[in-house]
Amino acid sequence: MTAADKKKAQFLVGLLVIAGLTWFLVYRTGVATSSADATKKPIKTRAAKQIKDPTIHSELIKSADAGADVGRKNIFQYRQKPLPPVAAPPSRPLPVPPTTNSSSPIFVPPPPTPPVMKTFKYDGLSIVGPPKTGRIMASLTDGTNSYQVTVGECLMGQYCVRQITENSIEIEDVQLKQRRTFPKTPAQ
């Protein structure tokens, strides 16, 4: 037996001793009280109150639930108290149309500018597979992220690649319904 096994065995014996003492102290019965226990004041137990009349007084229950709807109310559904009856609102005078002054021009604000499509940089393309029948992949960057895309693939669920050529890439923003062509960035 190795030293580690001896240590584990001692630990197991210690746990069994603690478990035995705990069981003994919790479940012991008929043990004579010691002198320290005899000096304590006796614990007073209250007698349970006796029920005077065990009959059910159904006349005290509201009769609101009686009738054809008994058992059909959903007690788990939220209900509001009915609102008190409201008197008819006072009649309002009709609004007077504003007078127009023909000498001042009417200012119409310009329509809001449409949102701008995200700008990508087209870094270049590569052909995966045989040169004439391979798949064309383009490399795009948006400033922080770099993407490898093919025709028909969508970025971020919004920008779909429609066409890839050697000199440009065409991307459609499906939310704004805009198409934009990005030229290939020159090598530095």
In a domain, 125, yes or no: yes
The CA-atom distances, in angstroms, between 153 and each of 162, 171, 181 are: 8, 10, 16
Who has greater pLDDT, 140 or 113? Answer: 140
Instruction: Report the mean per-residue pLDDT for the chain.
Output: 80
Residues whose CB falls within 8 Å of the CB of residue 169, separated by 6 or more in sequence, listed in order? 120, 122, 138, 140, 161, 163, 181, 182, 184
In a domain, 97, yes or no: no
Who has greater pLDDT, 75 or 5? Answer: 5
Q: What is the mean pLDDT of residues 151-163?
A: 91
How far apart, in whole angstroms, are the C-alpha atoms of residue 168 and residue 121?
10
pLDDT of residue 6: 92
pTM: 0.41
Tokens of 19: 């478990």
Task: Reply yes or no on whether the pLDDT at 143 is more than 70.
Answer: yes
Structural domain containing residue 160:
121-183
* Lowest-confidence segment of 31-35, 111-115, 121-125 by average pLDDT: 31-35
| pLDDT band (50, 70, 90) for residue 153 | very high
Count the domains in the chain.
1
In a domain, 126, yes or no: yes
* Lowest-confidence segment of 10-24, 35-49, 104-118, 122-136 by average pLDDT: 35-49
- pLDDT exceeding 70 applies to what percent of the chain? 74
45-49, 97-101, 149-153 — which one is most confidently predicted on average? 149-153
Who has greater pLDDT, 86 or 30? Answer: 86
Q: Is 15 helix (H, G, I), strand (E, B) or coil?
A: helix
In a domain, 136, yes or no: yes
Who has greater pLDDT, 83 or 48? Answer: 83
Task: Reply yes or no on whether the pLDDT at 95 is more than 80.
Answer: no
